[in-house]
Amino acid sequence: MSVRTGILLVVSGPSGSGKTTLCRRLADLGEVRYSVSCTTRAPRPGEVNGRDYHFLQTSEFQRLVEAGEFLEHAEVHGNHYGTLRSEVLGHLDQGIDVVMDIDVQGAAQVRACNDPGIMRARVDLFVMPPSEEELESRLSGRGTDDPEVIALRLRNALQEMSHWREYRYMLHSSTRERDFERFRALVEAQRMRVSRLT
Ligand code: 5GP
């Protein structure tokens, strides 16, 4: 039997691409550990502290930045987000796969990280929405937001999408089931990578 170190699966994509659903679903099956981020944004209805995010005051977030506790952190839409080193590092050594749902700035920081454990573990994937029309319809789906809010989200999404070439893999979203099949296939293939077998 071979033993391996964990995969660090970095997943980005604009809101409306379905990336969070993909990451959560794989984690709910017990296949990977979902890295719970810290954020200074307020919880949305139904979000649970410690499960969806660690919701922090700005001062506490700043303290963690200064203490060097974050593997990466970034400002997204006016709020701070970051991944604690402790959410990731120990798990990889134990052969536990970790999935991070982070924006393009955070993904760039993970890519630039020269920690040998991170370099060996990391795989990055960009989830691309099916089309601009479909994205617009997904972003306006809630029906409660102002047209300006929807237009801002769409602009942000298009900006984020311009970074897809920085990733090793790109998943062009189709149906939920098909997306999940392909996402899982990527993880399965990564589990066979010789460089992570010990
Ligand atoms: P939301 O506020 O809608 O949950 O997330 C907004 C954006 O922040 C999404 O693109 C999400 O992937 C990103 N994000 C969530 N957690 C982190 C994190 O820890 N670091 C970075 N860089 N981005 C994050």
- Atom of ligand 1 at shortest range from CA of 19: 12
Q: Which one of 51, 98, 103 would you pick to mutate in the ligand 1 pocket, going by the greatest count of ligand atoms within 8 A of its CB?
A: 103
State whether the beta carbon of 35 lies less than 6 angstroms from ligand 1.
no
- Residue whose tokens read 């996402």: 183
State whether the beta carbon of 82 lies less than 6 angstroms from ligand 1.
yes
Gap from CA of 153 to ligand 1 centroid (Å):
14
What CA–CA distance (Å, rounded) separates 49 from 59?
17
| Residue 2: per-residue pLDDT | 57
CATH homologous superfamily of 8-192 equals: P-loop containing nucleotide triphosphate hydrolases (3.40.50.300)
Question: For the residues of 103-124, what is the DSSP string, one character each?
Answer: -HHHHHHHHH---HHHHHHEEE
Contact 92, 6 (CB under 8 A): yes
Displacement of CA 81 from its chain's centroid (Å): 11
| Residue 23: per-residue pLDDT | 97
Helix ranges (DSSP H) in 8-146: 19-28, 58-66, 89-93, 104-112, 116-121, 132-139
**Domain edges within the chain:** 8-192
* Residue length of the chain: 198
Question: Pairing relation of β-strands 98-101 and 33-34?
Answer: parallel
Gap from CA of 48 to ligand 1 centroid (Å):
15
**Angle, alpha carbons 21-126-162 (nearest 5°):** 125
- Atom of ligand 1 at shortest range from CA of 105: 22
Q: Hey, whose CA ends up nearest to atom 24 of ligand 1?
A: 102
What CA–CA distance (Å, rounded) separates 130 from 107?
22
pLDDT tens digits for range 84-123: 999 999 999 999 999 999 999 999 999 999 999 999 999 9
Query: What percent of the chain lies above the pLDDT cut of 90?
Result: 83
State whether the beta carbon of 87 lies less than 6 angstroms from ligand 1.
no
pTM attached to this predicted model: 0.95
Say which residues have a Cβ less than 8 Å from residue 3's Cβ, sequence separation at least 6: 95, 197, 198
Q: Per residue, what are the HEC states of 129-178? A: CCCHHHHHHHHCCCCCCCHHHHHHHHHHHHHHHCCHHHCCEEEECCCHHH
State whether the beta carbon of 74 lies less than 6 angstroms from ligand 1.
yes
pLDDT tens digits for range 46-59: 999 999 999 999 99
State whether the beta carbon of 101 lies less than 6 angstroms from ligand 1.
yes
| Residue 1: per-residue pLDDT | 52
Q: What is the pLDDT along the chain (198 residues), one digit of tens a residue?
A: 558 999 999 999 998 899 999 999 999 999 999 999 999 999 999 999 999 999 999 999 999 999 999 999 999 988 999 999 999 999 999 999 999 999 999 999 999 999 999 999 999 999 999 998 989 888 887 666 788 888 888 998 999 999 999 999 999 999 999 999 999 999 999 999 999 998
